[in-house]
Amino acid sequence: MTLLPGLRRPEPAAPAEQGGARPRTNRLAALDGLRLVAALIVSLYHYTGYTRGVEDSWGVKPETAFPTLHHVGQYGWMGVQLFFMISGFVICMSCWGRTPGAFFQSRIIRLFPAYWAAVLITTAVITIWPVVRNPKSWHDVVLNLTMLQAPIGAPHVDAVYWTLWNEALFYLLFTVVVWRGLTLRRTVIFGYSWLLASAISFQTDFPLLKVLLQAEYAPFFVAGITLYLIHRFGPDMLLWGLLAASFAMAQYWTFRRVGYVGRTHLDAQLSGTVGAILVTLFFLILLAIALGYTSRIQWRWLTTAGLLTYPFYLLHENIGWTIIYGIRDFAPRPVVLAVVIAIMLVSAYLLHRLFEKPIARILKTKLAAAAGSLGRGDRYASARPAAPAAPAAEVAPVSPAPVIPGQRASTENEGVTAVR
């Protein structure tokens, strides 16, 4: 899930490429803050609403641990839908004007350093203190480092990693548009095509097509893309139509998901109306950001909040439950909850500063060097002698034109045609 940086408004393109785009220069600080809010919503679900997690960490059922708060926490899983909308917005923004190679490198640099560190740290914690979760086998841990455990069907080191595969599928689809070159026309066609294809794929018997087009989450990604296009180019009927179609499909899939989560994860009956209200709220907040109503919000701490979102999301579940288990009897539960969230935020900051930034810096240099070598010939082939340079052609001397009596001689450059 997304959870990505680079929330700086793009520089205005040249008139020929801009297509009427409005200049955007301020950082979208509100979007940074919204990302952390989404992560905190998900953590509230895991710490107060998710039945198995609450029972394993707090030792009691959610309604006992948090008689009132658990009603809110039960809907915290919907922070993932908000993440996917933000991801569509941010990826479209950060890809504008980039080549597929640059897009690929940016995703590797952004996703893997923090992820590698989180996999190893989580494995170490639950190996040393296996009180809420048992450690995975070493080959599962190694496979998790590739981020390919989901398509293979292997277990996640931490269950929250499932969203990363959905993000990767989105990147794969969007790379097609990036390869062609992002324009307003192509991106709008992509959005409508993805919604239509995802709807059709749901009733087909092709599992690969269903996985690739991910009908349940496509409307949220497309909505984010559409909102960025509104932000960059301003709204029109095509964009309003794409946003409306995304909204309608998002409501449908949310209603289905609300029932599923209530039955399988919470042993409770969740309200489809509450789910619909939350999705509507997500759309309205991001629309306000897209239309510039939050442009005056430029608080610096929001940028830091955005940087902490991804590490916090990766670390918070299993490690958070383990900490809750260890300190749950030392203070009232609301205090313990606040302390654990604070500890996970500090841990996210340390992971970002001590692991993510240094590894990302090294990875960026190495990937740039590797990309520069792709166009070279086989480095292991025997060197061939260079072909001798062709001799310069001899130019015959030009005799001066005879001067006709009564006509003046032409100047040196007169009548000479330039070679173009």
Judge whether 393 lies within some domain. Answer: no
* Sequence-distant (≥ 6) Cβ neighbours of residue 164 within 8 angstroms: 1, 2, 111, 115, 147, 150
Domain count, the chain: 1
Judge whether 328 lies within some domain. Answer: yes
How does pLDDT run across 252-302, given as a tens digit for each residue?
Answer: 999 999 999 988 888 888 999 999 999 999 999 999 999 999 988 888 889
As a whole number, mean pLDDT of residues 366-381 equals 70
Query: Is residue 155 within 8 Å of 149, Cβ to Cβ?
Result: yes
Query: Is residue 223 within 8 Å of 88, Cβ to Cβ?
Result: yes
Judge whether 388 lies within some domain. Answer: no
Q: Report residue 412's pLDDT band, with 50, 70 and 90 as the boundaries.
A: very low
- C-alpha distances (whole Å) from 174 to each of 98, 120, 178 are 12, 30, 6
Judge whether 325 lies within some domain. Answer: yes
User: What's the CA gap between 281 and 85, in Å, rounded?
Assistant: 12
Closest CA to 47 of 32, 37, 60, 33: 60
Alpha-helical segments (H) within 129-271: 138-144, 149-152, 162-180, 184-201, 207-213, 218-233, 237-261
Query: Is residue 40 within 8 Å of 73, Cβ to Cβ?
Result: no
Of the candidate ranges 321-325, 365-369, 392-396, the one whose mean pLDDT is the lowest: 392-396
Judge whether 191 lies within some domain. Answer: yes
pLDDT value for 382: 52
Mean pLDDT, the chain, whole residue set: 85
pLDDT at 41 over 50: yes
Task: Identify the domain containing residue 175 by its residue range.
Answer: 15-368
Judge whether 378 lies within some domain. Answer: no
The first and second tokens of residue 223, run together, are 């909505």
How does pLDDT run across 213-248, given as a tens digit for each residue?
Answer: 999 999 999 999 999 999 999 999 999 999 999 999
Q: Report residue 28's pLDDT band, with 50, 70 and 90 as the boundaries.
A: confident
pLDDT value for 58: 95
User: What's the CA gap between 129 and 292, in Å, rounded?
Assistant: 48
Judge whether 379 lies within some domain. Answer: no
User: What's the CA gap between 406 and 391, in Å, rounded?
Assistant: 44
User: What's the CA gap between 52 and 136, in Å, rounded?
Assistant: 18
Judge whether 291 lies within some domain. Answer: yes
pLDDT value for 205: 85
